[in-house]
Structures are given as structure tokens and as C-alpha cells.
Amino acid sequence: MSAEIMEYMTLITLTVISLLVARGVVFHALAFFFPPKSIKLSYTDNSGKKHTKLVNLSDEDDELINFLTELRANGKARRKDS
């Protein structure tokens, strides 16, 4: 009886693991073939206020590079203050 329960538990565990792996593979395949058009960035400024910004990836990369450079500079300044 207990061996039968272990077989069912093993079968359920393997089923769940295989479904999660399949979900991950499908997600990565869809992200590869249909990349997102924008990303949502959230950050905290020096005063502790949270901000979110939607950055379009279809535009020129200059906007994204400038925004990430600004975030990096603010992060370095914030670390020096603490």
C-alpha cells in the first residue's frame, strides 16, 4: 500500500516538474521569436520615492542608454551618501 502511494507521489511530482519545464521552454521560445516592444523599469530615487517608466525598445537605443546611465549615476551617488 505505501509503495503504491509513493508511486503516485513520484508520478505527480514528475508531472509537475515536466509541466514547469515545458512552460519555461515555451515562454523563452515566445520571448525569442516575439520580443517585447517595451520594458517597464521601476527604480527608487535619492529621496526614497519609487518611480516607474515604460521604455520603448523599438525607438532608438539612445533613450534607453540615457535613462540607464542616469539610473547608474543616481545609484552610485546614493551609495556614496550612505
**Residue 60 contacts residue 78 (beta carbons within 8 Å):** no
Question: Residue 6: its pLDDT value, please?
Answer: 93
Question: Residue 53: its pLDDT value, please?
Answer: 81
Question: Residue 55: its pLDDT value, please?
Answer: 76
**Residue 56 contacts residue 37 (beta carbons within 8 Å):** yes
- Over residues 19-41, the pLDDT tens digits come to 999 999 999 999 889 888 888 88
Listed in order, strand segments (DSSP E) in the chain are 38-44, 50-56
**Residue 23 contacts residue 16 (beta carbons within 8 Å):** no
With a cut of 70, which residues of the chain have pLDDT below it?
1, 58-60, 75-82
**Residue 73 contacts residue 82 (beta carbons within 8 Å):** no
Q: What is the pTM of this model?
A: 0.51
Q: How far apart are the first and last CA of the chain?
A: 61
